[in-house]
Amino acid sequence: CVAGKYSVIGEGQCQDCALGTFQATAGQTSCGNVAAGKVGRTANVARTNLADSIHETAAIIEVGCAKGTWRTASSGNSNCVLVPAGSVGREVDTEGTFAANEVAAAFTRLCPVNFYRDAARSTALGDCEDVPNGQQGQLSSGDAVWTGATGGAAFAVDCVAGKYSVIGEGQCQDC
């Protein structure tokens, strides 16, 4: 059998590797599971959007999820999905302050304090951005709860009259 296919001894017929599995070598009797943060593809293609981060049958290679998408180890044959607003995708689950999405993400981390990733643009594969002057980062658009030390802002909203903010602070303060 060619790469991307396998044959069980005694069956005499090649089968496509199932979704969520791949086989890079010809002449095999099974296919292996695709690792977290990756999908099985029939070719190594550039991954620039969500459509590039779906599993294919008869996969011969594992490719990382596109930037701004992720896939956990427990998601089986699921495709990569968009990283939630207010977060970024990380290849390795490590502590620290992160503002940029990575390819082959298997974990998500909240945007750092004073940064946000807009929920309205969550279909974009963008990174966390500085909260602009005159705005503050919030978890939701309907309340005035600043994200404070937790990070994870999904919105940047205007400061109310009598308050201001500067880039790098992310919180509205009294004038």
- Residues of the chain short of pLDDT 50, as ranges, are none
- pLDDT at site 127: 87
- pLDDT at site 71: 92
pLDDT, tens digit (0-9, with 9 covering 90-100), for 114-142: 888 886 665 567 788 888 888 878 776 65
Q: What share of the chain is helix, strand, coil (3-state, %, to 5)?
A: 5, 25, 65
- Here the tokens at position 88 are 């970024």
- Here the tokens at position 94 are 């490590």
Cα–Cα dist 34/22, whole Å: 6
- pLDDT at site 48: 72
- pLDDT at site 11: 80
- pLDDT at site 165: 84
- pLDDT at site 159: 84
- pLDDT at site 148: 55
